[in-house]
Copies of this chain bind each other. A is one copy, B any other.
Amino acid sequence: MSDPMNESPGPAPVPAPADQVRIVLVGTQHPGNIGAAARAMKTMGLSRLVLVAPETPLDDDAYRRSAGAEDVLAQAPVSATLAGAVADCRLVLGCTARNRRVQLEQLEPGPAAARLLRFAAEGPVALVFGRERTGLSNEELQLCHASVHIPSDPAFSSLNLAAAVQVLAYELRRTLLAAAPAPAAPAREDGPPATHDQVEGLFAQLAQTLEEIDFHKGRAPESAMRKLRRLFLRSDLSVSEVRLLRGILADAQRMARLASGRLSP
């Protein structure tokens, strides 16, 4: 019997709030940047792009730089004004450089993402990016509930438009995933972790081997064993790693016994 859930895994489920987040690009000058922004959005599971009065219509460069996010470009509505683009939004945040004259609450990307997703439970929200060279006008910023500032180096703060979209989209996805129930930890290729007893068995054989290969040479053995215990305990050894290490020790012991004449070759 076929299980439809297994037959067609399809795209990974996108948390619904992502579909409420609108990325609004205002007055973009280079269509290529719109394409790159669409790609940045789609890598993070966002698809709602809105263009406000772009200087140039979408062109081949835009589609080329979207690198497969053509669907995001194709569905992007164009609005004449920012006010029209965000009319139904519950929260509007505008990306700005630091120290704008318009005094708005200024959020870091992480808290901005958290706030957008909180409001997204209620309806559409918008994250607004201005022109490549001049950003958002004061009038446009006055439509925003708060501003978002990516903490770039003040000495060189000019993020590419798509790079800014990428950082914010990444923060949105990170916040969404952190809120989702964690997926089960992937099984380690090495198999299950070793038990306490298995690791102690390794340590006992290791201590014995150090004696047999005359590692200590009169020094107190405790110091070396303490360091080795610390090293291997923090490594979270698997069952198969313990087996491998004990195999190596067994061969070293065999050589030591051969060398001392206690065993014939």
Contacts and interface: CB of A to CB of B under 8 A. Distances in A.
Interface of A: 11-12, 14, 36, 39-40, 42-45, 67-69, 103, 108-110, 150-160, 162-163, 166-167, 170, 173-174, 177, 188-190, 209-210, 212-215, 224, 227-228, 230-232, 234-235, 237, 240-241, 244, 247-248, 251-252, 254-256, 258-259, 265
A43 B173 contact: no
B163 A210 contact: no
Number of copies of this protein chain within its complex: 2
A157 B67 CA distance: 11
Most buried by B among A173, A232, A248: A248
Contacts of A157: 43
Contacts of A103: 188-190
A190 B233 CA distance: 14
A190 B230 contact: yes
Contacts of A155: 11-12, 45
A196 to B, nearest CB: 18
B166 A159 contact: yes
A238 to B, nearest CB: 8
A207 B214 CA distance: 21
A194 B69 CA distance: 44
A68 B152 CA distance: 14
Nearest to A46: B153
A213 B259 contact: no
A229 B32 CA distance: 44
A210 B150 contact: no
A158 B68 contact: yes
13 contacts: A39-B160, A40-B159, A43-B157, A67-B158, A103-B190, A109-B170, A151-B173, A160-B162, A163-B166, A170-B170, A231-B235, A232-B235, A258-B259
